Amino acid sequence: MQFNLDTAELFVPDGLPVDEALARTTHLCFAAHQDDIEIMAAEPILKCFQQKDLWFTGVVVSDGRGSPRDDLYKDYTDEEMRVVRFKEQKKAALVGEYAAQVLLDYPSKSIKDGSNQQAVEDIVTLLKATRPQIVYTHNLADKHDTHVGVALKVIEAVRQLPKEEQPQKLYGCEVWRDLDWMIDADKVPFDCSAHENLQAALLGVFDSQICGGKRYDLATLGRRKAHATYFTSHGTDVTTGLSFGMDLTLLLAEPDKDPGVYVQEYIQRFAQDVADRIGKLR
């Protein structure tokens, strides 16, 4: 498969030919950085694990060169960090038994450039090769610029597909801002109760980040448990782990709708919910 950058990589954990590996994909995730997939897309990874008719493919859009580093990695150059992070992402693909793992290798500045179409073109190529049922990416209220940049490029790419080739669902997921603030009716809950050992293993392979001073493994698993308990105030827990998604599918049905306006509608419903509650209790 040909991508715009010669340095892009495509890894198939079980060694199947690339075309066959991608074609079996049912759940596809586009993430900004190495380890974002495992933080935000646990539910589809678990759903596809050890299944013959469900397959998860992960795509990391950025190169990982600007990652923070400390301890063992404190003196690593940007290029050395890129190599480490690529290796870690491939390890996660092996642990999670992904259909394929793609590393597009774009610098963050190009992802944050709305006029740069190269990543969009590669995303279209992957969507056509995989024809997934469901696509996952970052949510539009994320506070990391590169994450939102990826989400916008994914939306643009999916909109370029003919209607019959578009996924059934497009979800924006949690990383650098969770979605607990959304009103319950707007949240898409993802059940992350199963295989806690596998979830821990998927997060744990990213040693360069954990060792470097960011305990994403503990924070991510803790957030899932907190969501499970705090999701409802008047009932007992029905899951032991939850993450939340923002449904972006309407942006495909209404291709002229501005993503910025769309996410503001979620925020306005939250603001109205707060105002209504205070008003009725005065």
Look up residue 189 and give its two tokens. 């809950």
How much is the pLDDT for 121?
98
pLDDT at 1: 87
Residues β-bridged to residue 138: 173
Paired tokens of 52: 């013959």
The model's pLDDT over 104-129, given as tens digits with 9 standing for 90+, comes to 999 999 999 999 999 999 999 999 99
Cβ atoms 179, 141 nearer than 8 A: yes
CA dihedral 36, 38, 44, 47 (to 10 degrees): 180
Q: Whole-model pTM?
A: 0.96
What is the reported pLDDT for 66?
73
Terminal-residue alpha carbon distance, the chain: 62
Contact (CB, 8 A) for 179 and 246: yes
Please report the pLDDT score of residue 85 as a whole number: 93
For the chain, which ranges sit under pLDDT 50? Answer: none
Give the pLDDT confidence of 195-232 residue by residue, as tens digits: 999 999 999 999 988 887 789 999 999 999 999 999 98
Question: Which element (helix H / strand E) includes 120?
Answer: helix 118-130
Q: For the chain, list the domains and their CATH numbers.
A: 9-281 (3.40.50.10320)
- Between strands 187-191 and 242-247, the pairing is antiparallel
Q: What backbone phi and psi angles, to 5 degrees, belong to 265?
A: -65, -40
